[in-house]
Copies of this chain bind each other. A is one copy, B any other.
Amino acid sequence: MGNKVSIGLLGLGVVGSGVIKLIKNHQEELVHQLGCSIEVKSVLVRNVDKVRDVDLNQTFLTTDPADILQDPAIDVIIEVMGGIDEAYQYTLEAFRTKKHVVSANKDLIALHGTELEETARQHKCDFYYEASVAGGIPILRGITDGLASDRIQKVMGIVNGTTNYILTKMTNDGMTYEEALKEAQELGFAEADPTADVEGLDAARKMAILGRLAFSTDVALSEVEVNGIKDLELADLQYGEKFGYTMKLIGFAQCKNQQIEVSVQPTFLSNDHPLAGVKNEYNAVYVYGDAVGETMFYGPGAGSLPTATAIVSDLVTVIKNMRLGISGNASLEPRITTTLRNSEQRSGQYYLRIHVKDRIGAFSEISTLFNDLSISFKRILQTPMKQNGLAEIILITHQTSLATFENALNQLHELDVVKQIKSYYKVEGDAPDELAGTAKTLS
């Protein structure tokens, strides 16, 4: 291996360019740690003639993946091309030709992570992908190394910067969803087609990866229940705020008795929850461990250099492993097999907003319905609506099973007094009592 390690990049977009810059700018620190230098030998691009904002010899660029995958001088592949099919083929081929892979590709790893890790192990290759979840935050190491001795019970994450930016603007500046999305697009925090972000798919991929590592089990992407933020109304965020809750798009993963629940959904967090203060485009992952209790890892979830930090830190580990002769030992086979919790096994507190006919006994009918199902309330707020002879009722339940809550929703639909179920969301944590007091004065 000598005094340098040669690497090949698949892709030279925003993140790939960041990797090149970081390796160049921090060469001195990297050499100190590794005892050798890192040489970027080849880079796979679609168009070698494109003008790029990166200092790289043009002759290193190629459009032929074989120039990298079949080059015996290249030890490590950095996969920053994105997409699934080609990336999957190239990653497998890299392992077959004994190259280690560092990947930032959450789509690929959420779908094929378990299989790719197994293939890597078979070929004694390393496969690291810190950058695939929460950009610059070293959360995968936090889980696999830092909390290695603990039994993780729950992971909650704000793992999509676009939606967190939109929700922050709605909450803090009173923007509607559409206004906040437009601003996010103008500032480059949302793409022209924001579907994967606002519908929660991007977050779902990250939660599948986090769940797999946190619980040492296989989590299929299809097992993640996903609800996005497209239909959120400002009114709900403002009611939540009055009660002491902040709306966030929360990725949730829990494991108990070999049963897992993984979801992405808009969730009201009590304002004292560590995740409630995570603003704008920032990401954070909250990990609850049996022994350690509450921890949280916060930082930038995207961006050229932050994401490159995660990739090059993985590369440092890969090269250290090469020099110590211990490649291929990083990952473990899943420890347990799990089943999905059904709605009777899932529980939570729920926020509910309904419109009812504003007549005597209306609330009594509703409270009887909940009472019969043994669902009790933590907060109640009823406000007459001026225009239409209706009243708006906001309820926050105590802990109940999802099945029972869904049962309540079905029965509410049947009540003549209920005009419309406007919205319902999961609630995490207890808002302080004085805030509840504030909210009550509105009714």
Contacts and interface: CB of A to CB of B under 8 A. Distances in A.
Interface residues of A, number: 59
Count identical subunits in the complex: 2
A415 interface: no
Contacts of A167: none
A141 B149 contact: no
Given A141-B141, A142-B142, A324-B329, A148 B313 contact: yes
B291 A26 contact: yes
A130 B317 CA distance: 19
B298 A150 contact: no
Given A299-B294, A300-B293, A145 B141 contact: yes
A21 to B, nearest CB: 8
Given A151-B26, A313-B148, A274 B298 contact: yes
Contacts of A324: 324, 326, 329
Interface in A351-390: none
Nearest to A295: B299
Given A29-B335, A137-B295, A295-B136, A313 B142 contact: no
A232 interface: no
A250 to B, nearest CB: 17
Contacts of A272: 279
Contacts of A282: 294
Contacts of A148: 33, 312-313, 316-317
A11 interface: no
A316 B320 CA distance: 18
Contact of A317 (B28, B145, B292, B311): B145
B305 A292 contact: yes
A297 B300 contact: no
A297 B297 contact: yes
Interface in A17-31: 18, 22, 25-26, 28-30
A442 to B, nearest CB: 23
Contact of A29 (B29, B151, B279): B151
Contacts of A296: 296-299
B295 A149 contact: no
A130 B146 CA distance: 9
A147 interface: yes
Contacts of A30: 149
Contacts of A136: 289, 291-293, 295
Interface string A309-330: 1111101110010001110010
Contacts of A320: 329
A322 to B, nearest CB: 12
B335 A32 contact: yes
A36 B310 CA distance: 31
Contacts of A290: 25-26
Given A298-B295, A300-B292, A312 B149 contact: yes
A142 B138 contact: yes
Please indicate which of the listed interface residues A33, A147, A272, A316 has the most CB atoms of chain B within 10 Å of its own CB: A147
Nearest to A277: B277
For the complex of A and B, 5 pairs with smallest distance between CB atoms: A138-B146, A149-B312, A295-B299, A296-B298, A291-B305
